[in-house]
Amino acid sequence: MKNIVLFGPPGAGKGTQADILKHKYNLIHISTGDVFRYNIKNETDLGILAKSYMDHGDLVPDEVTIDMLKAEVNKNANANGFIFDGFPRTESQAKALDDFLLKKGETINGMIALEVPDEVLIKRLLNRGLTSGRPDDQDENKIRNRFKEYQTKTAILQYYFQEQNKYYGVNGVGSIDEISERLSNVINNL
Ligand code: AMP
């Protein structure tokens, strides 16, 4: 199996790139944000809970998110590997993912981070908010809170994966094709 964590702040292009790479490498793409939004749309208990956090740009509590992630992986027992997009976002999520995969005899092969300056991210998110219908993309205060969550809880994961020699930074500014190419160069060597 090839298991990849696609990492980076909101608006870095993780979803766009995961959509391309999943076809190229025959991997299952799991976006925790997408799974939450699906649950919100279908008004499930999980969706109602998640919405109260997501609408403010806050992270959903770890326990709920970790259980949901495990269920998504288990739904795809025969997968060739996974692209994790938007997970892990905290150290306890990272540890839970490692333990969970270890029990299956699997591991994360690499964390690939899309590096994009903040000003570019804000422009991209506000622009996406015009068509995405996502309340958390439409308000600059919510976007800034998402960055704050990223800086305080998520960015440290770089060191968690660096310690395991699994961290790869990639320039996330450029055309979609250029960035896929950069990511592919890393994935081909994992
Ligand atoms: P995303 O689509 O990845 O930008 O995620 C949108 C929102 O979903 C985030 O701002 C969080 O509220 C929630 N979310 C997604 N993934 C996670 C996660 N791994 N841990 C906690 N909250 C998450």
pLDDT in tens, the chain (190 residues): 999 999 999 999 999 999 999 999 999 999 999 999 999 999 999 999 999 999 999 999 999 999 999 999 999 999 999 999 999 999 999 999 999 999 999 999 999 999 999 999 999 999 999 999 899 999 999 999 999 999 999 999 999 999 999 999 999 999 999 999 999 999 999 9
Query: Is 190 within a domain?
Result: no
Query: Is 171 within a domain?
Result: yes
Question: How many Å apart are CA 166 and CA 50, to the nearest integer?
Answer: 30
For ligand 1, whether the C-beta of 89 sits within 6 Å is yes
For ligand 1, whether the C-beta of 57 sits within 6 Å is yes
Query: Is 177 within a domain?
Result: yes
Query: Is 124 within a domain?
Result: yes
* Ligand 1, atom 15, residue with closest C-alpha: 33
Measured in angstroms, how far is the CA atom of residue 159 from the centroid of ligand 1? 20
Distance of alpha carbon 1 from its chain centroid, rounded?
Answer: 19
Q: In what order do the strands lie in the sheet with 2-7?
A: 28-31, 81-85, 2-7, 110-115, 167-171
Query: Is 174 within a domain?
Result: yes
User: In this structure, what CATH number is given to the domain that contains residue 163?
Assistant: 3.40.50.300
Measured in angstroms, how far is the CA atom of residue 3 from the centroid of ligand 1? 19
* Ligand 1, atom 8, residue with closest C-alpha: 33
Task: From 66, 89, 125, give the residue whose CB has the most ligand 1 atoms within 8 Å, as the site to mutate.
Answer: 89
C-alpha dihedral over 13, 14, 15, 17, to 10 degrees? 80
- State the chain's mean pLDDT as an integer: 97
Q: What is the pTM of this model?
A: 0.97
Residue 27 domain boundaries:
2-185
CB 99: neighbour CB atoms within 10 A?
10
Query: Is 104 within a domain?
Result: yes
Query: Is 24 within a domain?
Result: yes
pLDDT in tens, 67-115: 999 999 999 999 999 999 999 999 999 999 999 999 999 999 999 999 9
Domain count, the chain: 1
Q: What atom of ligand 1 comes closest to residue 87's alpha carbon?
A: 19
CB 177: neighbour CB atoms within 10 A?
9
